[in-house]
Structure 1
């Protein structure tokens, strides 16, 4: 690659990092989730097959706390100057989301300083990404998984892609690959399915991607977070209806129970 092009790429990434640091997600707290649970009378949980936790929340509101997790949306510049993001295919042996495409990440641990620390630690454990290579620039509003986990997307910039040598942990990850971020704003490789939640319809987005003769399906929670990240990075909405507006109000949480 021409060194001048490489310098140009670094400047673009630095400019992107500076702009993203100004992004401020809407305020969010666990009290908002508890309000949703109370108003829906446990439907958020029972609809996805977890009646036990709903009872626990109803009986122990002062003690119950949703578990928290963070995922890393690690952006770097590809050889053609396009922005790309690192993804994984989870091990088929895992109990949750086995064999599915996901962003590196996991549940918060006691020693983590914040969501960025959680996301970078998990990326190191899962794919061998050195935390020092990642410049955390912003956070997106949390998503709410069907396992009653608050998932915070953390956007980080990988300025030196060549310094990252993927080393997937076989217990958790079957493959590491990357995709162009902008594809999540386009309608070219996208399908959608309608599901019912709390008696209402909502949309799940599914994106197909092929690289090195391998096909991957990116959908559900991961797709929703990447749609949001791409919208923030490129400063424009997707070329399709992002989700059904009768879902949970955007000022509470966004694209929540999708997966």
Structure 2
């Protein structure tokens, strides 16, 4: 997907999906919509290919995850394993120089998990969330005051398994007018709001 996103970010052919004003963002949105989203993690039960592999020590591993993203955890009933779900918002916008950037947050130091870490806006699925997109948009609004009406969701990426066995689905959205975004941080969850170049995440390590 990283290679696909890199090519999409370089696209320059004219288009105008969903009335996105920026030509480059419109092109990016069109390219990203070609990516086929995976089945909804909220609507489907854990598939055979997502069923954890349990070793002799009772450790469980999920083949669904990217290898370096999956970590083992001890379960008393591995046969009843069902991952909890969450979504994060990869919100892209264009800066004054025309470069693509990603909105990031620094988590509150008072949080019980991942305190003080840099992260994407997002969080766990709540009852009533219809899908991964709604979870990501709701969490972004709660954490940083990003109104869903300001962004256009263009695609949903393949979920991965976090080190805490949380099934996380990245949702990509375009923020066409960065000036219309008036951040309101939730101090219980977020200490800082900043952004970084998209290119930084696309470089081959």
Quote the residue 1:257 is aligned against. Answer: none
Q: Quick one: structure 1 residues 103 and 42, their matched pair in 2 at CA, closer, same or farther if it must change by over 3 Å?
A: farther
1:121-140 residue pairs with structure 2 within 5 A? 121-140=138-157
Is this contact kept in 2: 1:75–1:158, CA < 8 A? Answer: yes
Q: Deviations over 1:194-247 (max 9, x none)?
A: xxxxxxxxxxxxxxxxxxxxxxxxxxxxxxxxxxxxxxxxxxxx2x2xxxxxxx
Quote the residue 1:166 is aligned against. Answer: 183
- 1:110 and 1:78 map into 2 onto residues whose CA distance is 36
- 1:109 and 1:26 map into 2 onto residues whose CA distance is 20
- 2:104 and 2:36 map into 1 onto residues whose CA distance is 24
Cα deviation for residue 30 of structure 1 reads: 2.4
- 2:191 and 2:183 map into 1 onto residues whose CA distance is 12
- The alignment covers a number of residue pairs equal to 173
- 2:82 and 2:71 map into 1 onto residues whose CA distance is 19
Cα deviation for residue 56 of structure 1 reads: 2.3
- 1:119 and 1:44 map into 2 onto residues whose CA distance is 27
- 2:37 and 2:73 map into 1 onto residues whose CA distance is 29
Quote the residue 2:171 is aligned against. Answer: 154
- Stretches of structure 2 that go unaligned for 5 or more consecutive residues are 1-19, 62-69
Quote the residue 2:36 is aligned against. Answer: 24
Quote the residue 1:94 is aligned against. Answer: 111
**Does 2:94 match 1:77?**
yes
Q: Quick one: structure 1 residues 39 and 24, their matched pair in 2 at CA, closer, same or farther if it must change by over 3 Å?
A: farther
- RMSD value, Cα: 2.3
The one of 184, 189, 209 aligned to 2:201: 184
TM-score (norm 1): 0.61
Quote the residue 2:76 is aligned against. Answer: 55
Q: Quick one: structure 1 residues 141 and 49, their matched pair in 2 at CA, closer, same or farther if it must change by over 3 Å?
A: closer
Is this contact kept in 2: 1:86–1:179, CA < 8 A? Answer: yes
Cα deviation for residue 48 of structure 1 reads: 5.5
Quote the residue 1:10 is aligned against. Answer: 22
- 1:146 and 1:108 map into 2 onto residues whose CA distance is 17
Cα deviation for residue 73 of structure 1 reads: 0.1
1:175-214 residue pairs with structure 2 within 5 A? 175-186=192-203
The one of 34, 43, 66 aligned to 2:59: 43
* Aligned-partner SS, 1:81: coil
